[in-house]
Amino acid sequence: MYFKTRIKIFQQVRAIYLSCIILISSLLSCAQNFNFEKMRQNMVETQIEARGISSPKILKAFMNVERHRFVLPRYISKAYDDNPLPIDEGQTISQPYIVAFMTQSLNLKQKDKVLEIGTGSGYQAAILGQLCDSVYTVEIFPKLGKKANDLFIELGYSNIYSKVGDGYEGWSEHAPFDAIIVTCSPTHIPQPLKDQLAEGGRMVIPVGSYPFQNLVLLEKRKGIIREKKILPVRFVPMLDKEGDRY
């Protein structure tokens, strides 16, 4: 009976293994049939440029960054669709237009040092990495942080620095930052992030409780921070290490 049970378990494991191999092969085969460059071009033209994102540098960055590398395999056919997509840990990769709108709102320069709160799959950081000399990105979920960092290395980004930590606290060791972008929504703007914003710097952050959130643009001039609501949005909440929201 013992050996029969072991054989049965082995057969079940083997069947699951073979199913996984078939699924992966199917996904790879499917991926090879997509014209990602054409899909990306269509995304840039119809979703981003057509909605008023006019910066040539930003449009070029969205053409350079392969969004399908930052989505889960089962969503690869939807990688360039006009909507957010689920990723691990119950988080999302934002709609391409929102990524572009937030990026343009920062009015970035090549020499800028940027802080991102909420690495997620790494897509927003990769876009920023095309535009700026240095990007610092913080992720609360270790699984997401490691996966994104591995992808940055694989794609050859030497100007993106990532860590797992509490985004509410920012990354004070590398402050001040010329720009800060937050991709999760707290109920209020974290004071540590305000403190880490450089003179003349800009921050874009979604603020509020779901589903009523506003994208807020902050600018620091002569030590005074001015805030302006610029767009209604929906983002996942900003969480602490215990999983409670800020």
Q: Which residues are catalytic?
A: 94
Helix (H, G, I), strand (E, B) or coil at 104: helix
Specify whether the CB–CB gap between 236 and 184 falls below 8 A: yes
Q: Which two tokens stand for residue 6?
A: 């072991």
Specify whether the CB–CB gap between 185 and 238 falls below 8 A: yes
Measured torsion, CA atoms of residues 142, 147, 153, 157, in degrees rounded to the nearest 10:
-80
Q: Return d(Cα 218, Cα 181) in angstroms, integer.
A: 10
Task: Please give the C-alpha separations between residue 10 and each of 3, 22, 189, 224, in angstroms, as whole numbers.
Answer: 10, 18, 54, 67
